[in-house]
A and B are shown apart, each in its own frame.
Chain A
């Protein structure tokens, strides 16, 4: 596949996705509003299912959500064939001088069964099974939120800023742990904003961790380690961390995994330490719920739907956390989560403190 054809092929998919995000989505939302006005009461989830599922506009919306993503990864100009063809030359991006000191991969690491059972986001082979999986994921993530443009960095920066502003004074050499750090996109703003901190990123996916370590090495960041480990059992010492964070991890684990991760983070935090997670949870209404249950199914993210059903606050309190708060998060300064008219993830901050 020629470079220019790959770029054009992907540009087409993004152009379609933008129109889907704005036009098609808003059209469905408007239909539901009109129907609710006609009924004289808000629609319940079951009403929306009955109303929208047979509707051709909804069927096309749903088809496009599934297939634009499928084409993005697996189509003739897909990320998977593009990267696979270039495995050898792209491998250079996974190494850098000093990367090895920032990387700890486990020998014979056994991936959890839930993780192997589905190719998350429709990325063939998941984000973990091939040398180029991390690069494929990185490239794909640039257009996950089409309204935010290519960099999609704002979101992670804004979250890290919010966290560091709200957890109070951290010690200068604070220990910060990023669970499910992927290729380090969520870790980077923490190492940029807290330059003295000692930072650990853990993830299951070796190809993502390699990319994260290589980027940190290229940036000359010291005191950082990307380690292959399960967020449910990180291997970090009890009471060793000042701050635990994660971005888009919660919805990628089954409920039992989430409970185990909460318990693990509780025990490895120092007394008074904070855990702050960013994920998808607060839904405005039954329409949002319908759209995101569908997204969960269509985008191969089965545990997202289960997360909506969990009482995360109660789960966090059950392992001992206090001051548990869930708040809507604006991924961009232009966006008001309550009234944004286009498709967007229901970003939610989950903040919780270990008693001092």
Chain B
């Protein structure tokens, strides 16, 4: 769907293929989220260390538990799956109308 202004205006484009404009927008939105998330994490880690609930060393050496690793693996799978160009449900074959008229 085109990005629209209040009365349905299409966004300005700067690249040869307008799809690139949209991909850039997705990347920049994700980068913005990442910055916000990292900022929160830094705050949290600083507070944890200050309150001596967790030491910086522990944070540096702690790895994910088995369950956490499985969650990370699922995330990686989902990313790859999104790129694999496969339908996630059964689609109509090109000759379906010939088969079932």
Contacts and interface: CB of A to CB of B under 8 A. Distances in A.
B25 A67 contact: yes
Interface stretch (A33-41, A69-77, A320-328): A69-77
Contacts of B40: 4-5, 8
B37 to A, nearest CB: 9
Interface in B35-51: 35-36, 39-40, 43
Interface string B11-38: 1101100000100110011011101100
A59 B14 contact: yes
B6 interface: yes
Given A67-B24, A75-B29, A124-B6, A12 B35 contact: yes
Interface string A137-178: 000000000000000000000000000000000000000000
A304 B15 CA distance: 24
Contact of B39 (A8, A13, A75, A119): A8
Contact of A298 (B5, B12, B25): B12
A53 to B, nearest CB: 9
A270 B33 CA distance: 56
Contacts of A71: 28-29, 32
Contacts of B36: 5, 8-9, 12, 77
Contacts of A75: 29, 32
Contacts of B28: 67-68, 71
B14 A66 contact: yes
Interface residues of B, number: 19
Contacts of A44: none
A4 B21 contact: no
Q: Which of A8, A68, A76 has the most CB of B within 10 A?
A: A8
A39 to B, nearest CB: 25
A282 interface: no
A13 B32 contact: yes
Contacts of A297: 12
A133 to B, nearest CB: 14
Nearest to A1: B36
Contacts of A4: 39-40, 43
A331 to B, nearest CB: 28
Nearest to B36: A8
Contacts of B12: 66, 297-298
Interface string A1-35: 00011001101110100000000000000000000
Contacts of A62: 14
Q: List 10 A-B pairs, minimum CB-CB distance, nearest first.
A: A8-B39, A12-B35, A63-B14, A8-B36, A62-B14, A59-B14, A5-B36, A9-B36, A12-B32, A59-B15
12 contacts: A5-B39, A8-B39, A9-B36, A59-B14, A63-B21, A66-B11, A66-B12, A71-B28, A71-B32, A77-B32, A119-B5, A298-B12
